[in-house]
DNA sequence: CAGTCGTGGGC
DNA sequence: TGCCCAAGACT
């Protein structure tokens, strides 16, 4: 049964895969790595352009490492979760200093890089280096959960059972494992979607436990994300947008204009400084302090 | 380990 | 319109 599932999903991928630039032959491991950072919690369509511009400017890890981290944060633009930009810069520095400027290939080395967790390490190993890796993202979790267990949505955390099951599904042969990884992700992204899945065009609908069971609803507490309006996250985003837009350090008045509520603004600014996304610039002439992206 | 961390688009 | 969702990592 697993064999049939894999064969069909891979065949489906061969004729239905999107033409994504980071999948094209000749894409460097660094370019794949950049795409994986940008794609963390961010839709594909929003990544295409920033990814191309990023690699035009920083074609290698050493190029990015030679730039200030603040420039990475600025170039990140409105992709969201700007700490990813900082971590990508940190990873570029680590690659340059510890790995001779080449993206490492082993799982342990990849996991040693800032911003690289279990998913991203597996994705780089698989997509960039053609290795057999357990690539378990939200798409694969949903596909396997539905097809094999009949579960509508994956839980909040990746369980050990999930990882072991995914490992058992991954083909032994590296090239085929890599193909299965990208194909199962693509099926989750295009067909086996979170809402309104397209079971009518799914290549494995007749094998799907969730479908056979009559699409039972999600069991357990509804996993509700934090509302955004008025949160510290929104405040941080507003402040950082001001700093991204200014080459010169910014004064307190400009930040206050972006977020009038003082207590929350100060808390958010402190957290941005704490994260290393913002630095406080002390003037030499005793005037008011200013803030900027890290030089 | 549940909470935190941006942003924009679809329904 | 508000809510859900999008190739997670980190603490």
CATH of A2-128, one of 2.40.30.170, 1.10.340.30, 3.40.50.261, 3.90.230.10: 1.10.340.30
**Nearest nucleotide by C1' position to the A82 CA atom:** B6
Whether the per-residue pLDDT at A222 is higher than 90: the answer is no
pLDDT band at A228 (very low <50, low <70, confident <90, very high): confident
| Å from the A46 CA to the C5 C1' | 14
Per cent of chain A over pLDDT 70 is 98
CATH of A232-292, one of 3.65.10.10, 1.20.1630.10, 1.10.10.10, 1.10.357.10: 1.10.10.10
Instruction: Give, as ranges, the nucleotides of chain B with any atom within 7 Å of a protein CB.
Output: 1-8, 11
Whether the per-residue pLDDT at A226 is higher than 70: the answer is no
Among all residues of A, which ones are annotated catalytic?
36
**Nearest nucleotide by C1' position to the A83 CA atom:** B5
Q: Which residue has the tokens 């083909």?
A: A171
Find the residue closest to C8 using CA and C1' atoms. A40
Per cent of chain A over pLDDT 90 is 92
| A154 touches A143 (CB < 8 A) | no
| Å from the A1 CA to the B6 C1' | 41
Q: How is chain A split into domains, by residue range? A: 2-128, 232-292
State which protein residues have CB closer than 7 Å to strand B. Answer: A 41-43, 46, 78-83, 156-157, 195-196, 225-226, 228, 231-234, 236-238, 240-241, 271
pLDDT, average across residues A140-146 = 98
Higher-confidence residue of A218 and A91: namely A91
How many other CB atoms sit within 10 Å of the CB of residue A23? 14
| Å from the A48 CA to the B8 C1' | 15
How distant, in Å, are the alpha carbons of A18, A57, A110, A122, A168 from that of A133?
Answer: 22, 30, 12, 5, 11
Instruction: Please give the full DSSP string across chain A, using - where no structure is assigned.
Output: -HHHHHHHHHHHHHHH----GGGSTT--HHHHHHHHHHHTTS-HHHHHHHHHHHHHH--SHHHHHTS-HHHHHHHHTTSS-THHHHHHHHHHHHHHHHSTTS---SHHHHHTSTT--HHHHHHIIIIIT--------HHHHHHHIIIII--SS--SS--HHHHHHHHHHS-SSHHHHHHHHHHHHHHHHHTS-SSS--GGG-TTGGG-HHHHTT-PPPPSS--PPPP-TTSHHHHHHHHHHHHHT-SS-EEHHHHHHH---HHHHHHHHHHHHHHTS-EEE--TTS---EEES--
pLDDT digits (tens, 9 = 90+) for A251-265: 999 999 999 999 999
pLDDT band at A287 (very low <50, low <70, confident <90, very high): confident
| Å from the A73 CA to the B1 C1' | 29
Phi first, then psi: what are they for A134, rounded to 5°?
A: -90, 95
Instruction: Give, as ranges, the nucleotides of chain C with any atom within 7 Å of a protein CB.
Output: 3-10
């Amino acid at each position: 049964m697993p064999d049939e599932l894999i064969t069909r999903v891979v065949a489906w991928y061969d004729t239905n895969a999107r033409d994504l630039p980071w999948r094209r032959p000749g894409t460097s491991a660094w370019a794949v790595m950049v795409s994986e950072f940008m794609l963390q919690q961010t839709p594909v369509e929003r990544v295409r352009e920033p990814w191309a511009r990023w690699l035009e400017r920083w074609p290698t890890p050493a190029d990015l490492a030679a730039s200030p981290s603040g420039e990475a944060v600025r170039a990140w633009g409105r992709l969201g979760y700007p700490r990813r930009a900082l971590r990508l810069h940190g990873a570029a520095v680590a690659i340059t200093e510890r790995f001779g400027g080449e993206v490492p290939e082993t799982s342990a080395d990849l996991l040693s890089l800032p911003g690289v967790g279990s998913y991203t390490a597996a994705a780089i190993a698989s997509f960039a280096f053609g290795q057999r890796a357990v690539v378990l993202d939200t798409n694969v979790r949903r596909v396997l959960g539905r097809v094999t267990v009949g579960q509508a949505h994956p839980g909040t955390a990746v369980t050990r059972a999930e990882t072991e099951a995914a490992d058992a599904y991954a083909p032994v042969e590296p090239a085929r494992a890599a193909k299965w990884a990208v194909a199962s992700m693509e099926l989750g992204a295009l067909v086996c979607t979170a809402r309104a899945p397209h079971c009518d065009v799914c290549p494995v609908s007749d094998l799907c436990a969730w479908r056979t069971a009559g699409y039972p609803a999600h069991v357990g507490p509804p996993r509700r994300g934090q509302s955004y309006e008025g949160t510290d996250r929104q405040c941080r985003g507003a402040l950082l947008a001001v700093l991204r837009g200014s080459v010169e350090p910014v004064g307190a008045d400009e930040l206050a204009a972006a977020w009038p509520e003082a207590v929350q603004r100060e808390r958010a600014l402190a957290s941005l400084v704490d994260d290393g996304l913002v630095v406080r610039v002390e003037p030499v002439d005793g005037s008011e302090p200013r803030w900027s992206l890290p030089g």
